[in-house]
Structure 1
Amino acid sequence: MLNSVRTFSFLFGYLPISAVNLKKFIKQKSQLSLEEYDKLIHTEPQKWATGIMERTKSTVSVTGLENLPDGPVLFVSNHEGNFDIPVLLSAIPKPFGFISKKEVKKMPIIPMYMEEMNCVFLDRTDRRSALKSITDTVGKLKEGHSILIFPEGTRSKGQEMGEFKSGFMRIAKDSGVPVLPIAISGTSDIMEKNNNKIMPAAVSVQLLDPVPANRIQELDTKSAIALVRSRIEDALDSPVQQSAGG
């Protein structure tokens, strides 16, 4: 119970501070390159996410940081729990936005940061919105920003990884950027498996070998999806992943 209070108190308590800093950052935008501004914006979400994870008392092991490419990349991760985003924001030094459900827009301050991070909002009940989110994400990647996507579309909550929806591969093919698969394990032990009470957990993040843009173009959509999904599935099944995830 104490972990839950501590975590949620920080989650919302840090927002006024981040709002002040966001205003300062936006004033500097015209003086910075795209890459410099993305790095600057990333500093606050990373502090926020790191603070959240510290208060859950969880441990996060990260491997494969050497696989991070220069330039824009489409991160493709399995989706285990609500803490996937804080874990990845705190663990990955490369700035990135992500695709998020539109309901997040109702939260205070967070949506303002997400827009500056180049996040894309999606209404899952509206097919037209889903198509627009694909176009918007392709545009962000072509501009030089990196994006994270969870192609399962919903949390597995520690169960078997779900099927990957094909939209992410259309994004990869249309944008012409490499795909970096991510295998994440243990986040559902923080919350989903505890009746939504926050408990310490051992979380493992593996940044796998990127799939080059030219390889994505060579493969048909079905084969390319199978390639990315199998890399993540193999990593989740590996002994290293199981021991790291407890």
Structure 2
Amino acid sequence: MWHTARAIRTFLSIIFWAFLAVSSTVLFIGAVLIWLVTLPFDRDGRVLHLYSCFWAQLYFYVNPLWRLKVDGRERLPWRGPAVLVSNHESLGDILVLFGLYRPFKWVSKAENFKLPLIGWNMRLNRYVPLVRGDKASIAQMMTDCEYWLARGVPILMFPEGTRSFDGQVKPFKDGAFVLAKKMNCPIIPVVLTGTARTLPKHGWVLDTKADCHVQVMPPVDPAGFHDVHALRDYVRDLIIAEKARLDSGVSTPAQA
């Protein structure tokens, strides 16, 4: 029985990765065309980003074993600065968070921008690269984020810095909260569950089923906190509590 289940998962994984490769080739061509057409009037790349949201969500649309529920999307701005912060469980978080279908710029590892097709699309979108532990790269990342926030474009960061191995929310780094304080814009906590069963951290064989849930929480005004650390710890506690609620299956909605 175990061998049969493993064989099924392997077969489905082969189909998934083959479809991703073929579809990404076609969709990247579409991304280049959209970039060229919209560049004169959409300097912030909002249209291309929304197209990229569809690209990522396509793998949920065609996979009957993956389900995604997004609550609280209306709390996200179409225009105006905001710092979105999310817990981080797997590579699948990227696909899931594109399901927000709102303009924002990702902050992502610099090596992701080197990936064929997907990484090239990240460059077209002018997402923000970061080399972990490199002070010059961190400083440039902060400068780039300030630029987008000043233009009224939200950014999205994983304040844990890397994926959690056990699903527990790791300590947060300060960067997102420094930006929110400096730019006087809201922090919007985003909570993910179920994404650890999408794309594996190691290997290529997928779990056959994933029920993913995204909860966008109410914006947090940084002006109400005396320093960055107080803001950081408050938001982390909010995310931990909301994640526990979602994992427990309690249906009470996030606080309005």
Mapped pair 1:22 → 2:28: no
Q: Which moved more, 1:12-21 or 1:135-144?
A: 12-21
Aligned counterpart, 1:242? 248
User: Shift in Å at residue 241 of structure 1?
Assistant: 3.8
| Alpha-carbon spacing, 1:25–1:166, altered in 2? closer, same or farther (3 Å) | same
* Cα distance, 1:210–1:241 mapped onto 2, change above 3 Å: farther
- Aligned pairs for 1:1-246 (under 5 A) are 1-34=10-43, 37-38=45-46, 40-53=47-60, 54-55=62-63, 57-70=65-78, 71-89=80-98, 91-192=99-200, 196-199=204-207, 200-215=209-224, 218-238=225-245, 240-243=246-249
Contact 2:113 2:123 in 1 (8 A): no
The structure in which a higher percent of residues are helix is 1
Change in Cα spacing, 1:120 to 1:196, as seen in structure 2 (3 Å) is same
**Aligned-partner Cα distance in 1 for 2:100–2:53:** 9
The code of the aligned residue for 1:87 comes to: V
Identity %: 29
Q: Tell me the distance in 2 between the aligned counterparts of 1:228 and 1:151.
A: 10
Q: Matches of 1:56 and 1:6 in 2, distance apart?
A: 13
Structure 1: tracts of 5 or more residues without a match: none
What is the TM-score when the length of structure 2 is the normalising length? 0.84
Q: Residues of 2 paired with 1:59 and 1:178: CA distance?
A: 29
TM-score, normalised on structure 1?
0.87
Q: Deviations over 1:127-155 (max 9, x none)?
A: 21122111211212112222110010111
Q: Unpaired runs of 5+ in structure 2?
A: 1-9, 251-256
The answer to whether the 8 A contact 1:62-1:204 is kept is yes
Whole-Å separation in 1 of the counterparts to 2:39 and 2:233: 42
| Superposed displacement of residue 34, structure 1 | 4.5
**Ranges of 4+ aligned residues in structure 1 off by more than 6 Å:** none
Change over 3 Å in CA distance of 1:3–1:146 after alignment to 2: farther
Give the number of the structure whose alpha-carbon radius of gyration is greater: 2
Q: Is the 8 A contact 1:157 1:192 kept in 2?
A: no
C-alpha spacing 1:202/1:32, structure 2 compared with 1 (3 Å): same
Is the CA contact 1:18–1:44 (under 8 Å) kept in the aligned structure 2? no
Deviations 1:46-69 (A, max 9, x none): 222112234372111111122223
